Amino acid sequence: MNVSIIGAGAMGGAIASGLLNKSFSPKALMLSNPSSGVLEKFKAQGVNVTHDNCEAARFADVVMVVVKPWIVEQVLNEIKGVMDYSRQTVVVIAAGVPSDSLKDWLIKDNTLPAILIGMPNTAIALGESMTFLVPVVSEDATTIKVKQLFDLTGTTLVIDEAHLPAGTTLASCGIAYAMRYIRAAIEGGVELGFKAALAQEIVVQTVKGAAALLSVPGSHPESEIDKVTTPGGLTIRGLNEMEHAGFTSSVIRGLKAGIK
């Protein structure tokens, strides 16, 4: 399977890195970007690179359009004339672009290619993405093929479009929310007497451990909290102080704000 990524910015570059890190053949990958700088490191790894979006579109079985939302229409209108809709699939990765618009922009001779909306997060570069796929015009076999591609770089869920905003705020925006907690914990560690680098090491490993505990089937946050929360102990004091400051409420309000 040949894959083209149109747009090699933060997300497009992360997708490319994630695929390459999982032994995806660089010869089966093409990146298109208007500037050369970001392409050079991928070219050095044997990836096909170009400034021509149409060349990238012709190359691939799966064409990923990973650009700013307001540029999606321009790119799709640019590439649809050179695409073979009978064999090619388009995956659009751009927040907030509705499926009806994608169909309007891609229709050609009253036909459409297979179209999916994708929403990974930046951890895709390390093979740890939580990715959502929304089939817009896609047979089951095509959806499975694209899911298997993204499964190389983390966990992939196929959902309906109505749930995409919630998935985006939980997983894509969620990376930033998790980083904000980690940053706060590091700052707290410095106040408690650790140097910043050591505080970061401690907090990162702690968060990794918490995630690992929750990956065990049947595990739940409350049961894991109970294991370290003794009556009258330090943990419950800390948790109650966080709740007095609105910790849980703030997280939920932030998540809800992310879909408005």
**How many residues are recorded in the chain?**
260
Greatest Cα pair distance, the chain, in angstroms, is 71
- Would you say 57 and 79 are in contact if contact means Cβ atoms under 8 Å apart? yes
Query: In this predicted structure, what is the pLDDT of residue 49?
Result: 96
pLDDT band at 258 (very low <50, low <70, confident <90, very high): confident
159 membership: H or E segment, kind and range: none
Structure tokens at 202: 């401690």
Which residues contact residue 214 at a Cβ distance below 8 angstroms, ignoring those fewer than 6 apart? 220, 221, 224
The whole-number average pLDDT for the span 26-36 is 95
The two tokens of residue 79 are 């590439």
Cβ proximity of 94 and 118 under 8 Å: no
In whole angstroms, give the CA distance from residue 184 to residue 71: 35
Q: Is a pLDDT exceeding 90 seen at residue 259?
A: no
Taking the C-alpha atoms of residue 79 and residue 74, their distance in angstroms, rounded to an integer, is 9
**Is the predicted pLDDT of residue 260 greater than 80, yes or no?**
no
CA-CA distance, 116 to 88, in Å (whole number)? 12
* pLDDT tens readout for residues 90-145: 999 999 999 999 999 999 999 999 999 999 999 999 999 999 999 999 999 999 99
Give tens-digit pLDDT for 48-82: 999 999 999 999 999 999 999 999 999 999 999 99
pLDDT of residue 37: 87
Sign of the alpha-carbon torsion through 12, 18, 20, 23: negative
Q: 93 near 119, Cβ under 8 Å?
A: yes
Query: Quick check: helix, strand or coil at residue 256?
Result: helix
- Judging by beta carbons within 10 Å of its beta carbon (0-12, 13-18, 19+), is residue 222 exposed, middle or buried? exposed
* pLDDT tens per residue across span 152-191: 999 999 999 999 999 999 999 999 999 999 999 999 999 9
Q: Where are the alpha helices (DSSP H) in 114-244?
A: 140-151, 164-167, 173-191, 196-214, 221-227, 234-244
Q: How many CB atoms lie within 10 A of CB 108?
A: 12
Secondary structure tally for the chain: helices H, strands E? 12, 8
